[in-house]
Structure 1
Amino acid sequence: MFVVAPLYTCLFSFSFVGLSSPVRSGIGLSKFIPRRVQQPRWKSSLLSLRRPTDMQPPTDASNVKLKLTYLQMKGFGEMLRLALFHGGLEFEDERISYEEVQRRRSEGLLPCGQVPVLEIDGVAHSQSMALLRWIGMRTGLFPVEHQLKIDAIHEAFADINKNLFPNWYGHILGRSPVDGALLVPMTDDQKSQTLELLNTVVLPCRLQRIEATYTSAGNDFFCGSAPTTADFQWYVMGSGLVEGTYCEGVSTQILDQCPNLRRIIENVAKLPRVVEWNAAHPE
């Protein structure tokens, strides 16, 4: 019976039959590894980034230097600003134009080629929800006993944002990760149908499910009497929906059947640090 030995067994056996190890002989294992396929040009700009994996973010954020970079709007950056400010973490609030985003993307200065970006002691980190959780874990806004519920709420809001992306951009695939160009334009008929279904089916259904599953008439916030990262995310999204600024064309009455969700918006708006922040940033 012919038996094929595992690869690692064969490698070890070489030294016992007089063959020299590639490492000991100075050849190096790289000689035995195929060369990498040449990378596309857009990947070359990534070489200038300091990778987040080079540094483990500190567990105590009170003594680190924080710089938050986002567009000159609320969008996906405002919940981070509010969480930082409410949590008492000092940070530089950098607001840049979309043209500046394009420049930094082309020069490889933005992880994942987009904003928001949170620099922690000079190292850039991206992805808004990862940043929000990091802030929450260091400010008490992401308590361990409620993490599963908070994460579920974040995912539910992420589903809503995915539904809104075509309406935000007027293009099915949004922006190109390479240069920010808009991809696959929608026809006027598609835009009209999308907006109608958002207002009559998609958003009412998703919001009412969140209302029924994750809120309670007896709670001020999603997880009881204290706010969490989920409340700050919802405050930015929900107040924008009510005001008609979160997504153009979405009905401002979209929350009429969600009294608990409306109350959470009002309660977050009353938090002293939120009142202070909004007074200083009336945009």
Structure 2
Amino acid sequence: MKLALTYFNFPFWRAEVSRLALHLGGIPFEDIRPDRDQWMALKASGTLPYGQLPVLDVDGVRYAQTGAIARFCGQLSGLYPTSDPIAALRVDELLDAATEINYELYPTMRVKDPEEKLAMRQALGREQIPRWLTAIETRLLDNETQAYFVGTQMTVADLAIWRLIAWFTSGILDGVPTDLVDKHPALKAHHAAIDADPRIRAWMESHYPSK
């Protein structure tokens, strides 16, 4: 099976979850990271199923949507529970929650006025994002071990939430406090543990030396 995963050259959860799943599973894949000109050409080509990235090519056939790609890559790599429907449901729920949080922030990306954008993000940082973090942390605490979100082994849900939290704490989102996760100790500990995994650390240091 020949795989090619296409997304921009930064560790946003929407693609990094699948990149890392394949890497951790030892699954060979072509890691395509288009620059701006390449992205514009790709978008104009009409070959993107929904006009968006990421996309995954499997033996020359192109597939899209973050959750679908993450589940597929998770199944290939052993990071998705294929034999336990309830565990799979819990993983899917967390992937969808991460997507919903993105939807909360997307409108701010289109605002050109800096003050308006800042005010919108400050409101999100006071209200919606803390509510989401509380809900996600509750799911972590519901698990039999707080080392992972589902079961006793890492899944793509752990990778997704790890990168989502990194996005919030990076300072990239002006107006969103970088210390939001401090009020959620279990979630903060989970993030730190995933981030410290030697395999993940090696990947991050080789692909994003400044992260």
CA deviation vs aligned residue, 1:21-64 (integer Å, no higher than 9, x gap): xxxxxxxxxxxxxxxxxxxxxxxxxxxxxxxxxxxxxxxxxxx1
How far apart, in 1, do the equivalents of 2:150 and 2:193 lie? 13
2:117 pairs with one of 166, 178, 191: 191
| Residues 1:142 and 2:83 are matched in the alignment | no
Q: Which residue of structure 1 lines up, in the alignment, with residue 174 of structure 2?
A: 248
Amino acid at match of 2:60: G
Say yes or no: does 1:155 pair with 2:155: no
Higher relative contact order (CA 8 A, sep 6+): 2
Between the aligned partners of 1:113 and 1:214, the Cα distance in structure 2 is: 34
SS class of match (2:32): strand
Larger radius of gyration: 1
> 1:1-283 counterparts in 2 under 5 A?
64-75=1-12, 76-144=14-82, 145=84, 146-170=87-111, 187=113, 190-216=116-142, 218-245=145-172, 247-281=173-207, 282-283=209-210
| CA–CA distance in structure 1, aligned partners of residues 77 and 4 of structure 2 | 16
How far off its partner does 1:189 sit?
A: 5.6
Aligned residues: 204
Q: Could you tell me whether the CA contact under 8 Å between 2:119 and 2:175 is conserved in 1?
A: no
Cα distance in 2 between the residues matched to 1:92 and 1:228: 22
Please give the secondary structure, in 1, of the residue aligned with 2:79.
coil
Cα distance in 2, alignment partners of residues 154 and 121 from structure 1: 25
Code of the residue aligned with 2:154 in structure 1: it is P
Counterparts of 1:275 and 1:73, CA distance in 2: 15
Give me the whole-angstrom Cα distance separating, in 1, the residues matched to 2:24 and 2:174. Answer: 29
Q: Which blocks of at least 5 consecutive residues in structure 2 are unaligned?
A: none
Gaps of 5+ in 1: 1-63, 171-184
Percent identity over paired residues: 31
